[in-house]
């Protein structure tokens, strides 16, 4: 006898409240439904249902078995859905959110290759630095550059970046090169509005953590604007290495106080749930994971 069919039948009887209604729901005869339940009780050696002419009710053992068997049936359905989704071709509209600068520099060049592999997928890519709500705003996947220890979302780490304190040679020539984070309080700085710590910058130095309250001359919600202001010698910035790496390599910007390290941050693909992940979402996660692991991008 199929034990899962027995459990399915038993659950249907409990959910429907009668053998007749369960038989209709399962497209079986009432006799077959009764036989499955009786055979299961016989095999288990316990009565699961109290039966009267007017109603059914669960025994104590039946209540325990109902809860556990319902969980098992749900897990089986989830496993089947996952295997089915892996075998299905990715298709349909895929809505993606990503930070503006990272989206332009490091994601935009990838979309052609992704669609070449999955031509049935249509992309809707929105770039915004604000923190969006995936569920409320209807996104399938978001790229986040953050620490996600307390996130309720499912995440896949793609790469790592670090925050770099830097300024232009011209600015440093005019106003001096700070030697300790505390000196930043007296320097012009360009601040990124979406920092969780706002204008307080944190570092780890040789003697431990150091924090400084800065006095920005420019606030902006965009990393490219921070970079442009620094290149124009307007002040000092704290921006991710994926944004300023080329400027540091060319000498247009100079890293300051490398012995005082700021944050190292993960770059993640996040999506709402592990359950019933659609083929299009799984395809994108696999594609981005493969790309960044092969490129070895750790800025």
pLDDT beyond 80 at 196:
no
pLDDT at 109: 95
pTM above 0.75, yes or no: no
pLDDT at 138: 87
Written as one string, the DSSP assignment of 224-245 is: HHHHHHHHTTS-BEEEEHHHHH
Q: How does residue 188 score in pLDDT terms, banded at 50, 70 and 90?
A: very high
pLDDT at 5: 86
Domain 161-264 has CATH 3.40.190.10: yes
pLDDT beyond 80 at 276:
no
- Whether 161-264 and 92-158+269-295 are alike in CATH topology: the answer is yes
Q: How many CB atoms lie within 10 A of CB 75?
A: 10
What's the longest Cα–Cα distance across the chain? 95
Q: How does residue 274 score in pLDDT terms, banded at 50, 70 and 90?
A: low
pLDDT digits (tens, 9 = 90+) for 127-182: 988 888 888 888 999 999 887 765 667 889 999 999 999 999 999 999 999 999 99
Question: Is the distance from CB of 209 to CB of 215 less than 8 angstroms?
Answer: no
pLDDT beyond 90 at 81:
no
pLDDT at 152: 66
pLDDT digits (tens, 9 = 90+) for 83-112: 655 556 888 999 999 999 999 999 999 999
pLDDT digits (tens, 9 = 90+) for 212-258: 999 999 999 899 999 999 999 999 999 999 999 999 999 999 999 99
**Helix spans in 88-234 (H):** 100-102, 111-117, 134-137, 169-175, 223-231
Q: How does residue 79 score in pLDDT terms, banded at 50, 70 and 90?
A: confident
pLDDT at 298: 54
Domain 92-158+269-295 has CATH 3.65.10.10: no
pLDDT beyond 60 at 297:
no
* Domain edges within the chain: 3-81, 92-158+269-295, 161-264
Question: Is the distance from CB of 48 to CB of 65 less than 8 angstroms?
Answer: yes
The Cα 168–Cα 251 span in angstroms is 8
CATH tag for 3-81 (out of 3.40.50.10300, 1.10.10.10, 3.40.1190.20, 3.40.50.1950): 1.10.10.10
């Amino acid at each position: 006898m199929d034990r899962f069919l027995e459990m399915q039948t038993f659950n249907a009887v409990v959910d429907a409240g009668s053998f007749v209604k369960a038989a209709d729901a399962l497209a079986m005869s009432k006799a077959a439904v009764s036989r499955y339940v009786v055979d299961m009780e016989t095999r288990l050696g316990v009565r699961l249902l109290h039966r009267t002419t007017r109603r059914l009710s669960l025994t104590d053992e039946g209540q325990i078995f109902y809860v556990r068997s319902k969980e098992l049936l749900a897990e089986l359905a989830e496993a089947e859905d996952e295997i089915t989704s892996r075998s299905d071709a990715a298709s349909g509209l895929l809505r993606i959110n990503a930070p503006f600068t990272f989206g332009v520099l490091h994601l935009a060049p990838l979309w052609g290759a992704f669609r070449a592999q999955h031509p049935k997928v249509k992309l809707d890519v929105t770039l915004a630095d604000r923190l969006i709500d995936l569920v409320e705003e209807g996104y399938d996947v978001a790229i986040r550059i953050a620490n996600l220890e307390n996130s309720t979302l499912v995440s896949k780490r793609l790469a790592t970046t670090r925050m770099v304190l830097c300024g232009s040679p011209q600015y440093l020539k005019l106003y001096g090169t700070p030697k300790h984070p505390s000196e930043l309080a007296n320097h012009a700085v360009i601040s990124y509005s979406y920092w969780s710590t706002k204008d307080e910058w944190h570092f780890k130095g040789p003697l431990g953590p150091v924090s400084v309250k800065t006095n920005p001359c420019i606030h902006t919600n965009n990393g490219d604007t921070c970079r442009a202001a620094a290149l124009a010698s307007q002040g000092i910035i704290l921006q991710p290495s994926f944004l300023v790496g080329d400027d540091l390599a060319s000498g247009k910007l100079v890293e300051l106080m490398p012995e005082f390290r700021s944050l190292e941050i993960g770059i993640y693909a996040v999506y709402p749930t592990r359950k019933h992940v659609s083929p299009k979402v799984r395809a994108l996660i696999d594609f981005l994971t493969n790309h960044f692991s092969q490129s070895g991008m750790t800025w």
